[in-house]
Amino acid sequence: MRPGKKLKLRSEPDNPYDPNAVSVWCGRTKIGFVPRARNQELAKMLFFGHGDAFEAYVQSTDWTQHPERQVRMVVYVRDRR
């Protein structure tokens, strides 16, 4: 997983721990979640079918960090006008 690698975001409204959960996928592998403090609006947009408005990419990796902090990603909102 290198910087620039495209990631996929998926809403998980049935998540038992957070109804606004947004999972992050690299190919067929779930690599984690968008932090709870930042997922509410993103979850709404994904849930209502606006996932094509977002592009997510690996920004950096640091395998020496705690697993929750090993991958940093960036999410862009595309202008669909």
pTM of full prediction above 0.75? yes
**1 lies in a domain?**
no
Q: What CATH number is given to the structural domain containing 70?
A: 3.30.70.2330
Q: What is the pLDDT of residue 10?
A: 93
Integer Cα distance of 20 and 53 in angstroms: 18
Beta strand 29-33 with 54-61 is: unpaired
Order of strands across the sheet with 54-61? Answer: 29-33, 22-26, 6-11, 54-61, 71-77
Burial of 42 from C-beta contacts in 10 A (0-12 / 13-18 / 19+): buried
Residue 74 and residue 59 in contact, taking contact as beta carbons nearer than 8 Å: yes
Q: What is the pLDDT of residue 81?
A: 72
* Structure confidence by residue, pLDDT tens digits, 30-61: 999 999 998 999 999 998 888 888 999 999 99
Whether 8 shows a pLDDT value over 90: the answer reads: yes
Q: What is the pLDDT of residue 29?
A: 93
**Mean pLDDT of the residues in the chain:** 91
Domain that residue 63 falls in: 6-77
Number of domains in the chain: 1
Residue 21 in tokens: 């959960």
Residue 14 in tokens: 């049935």
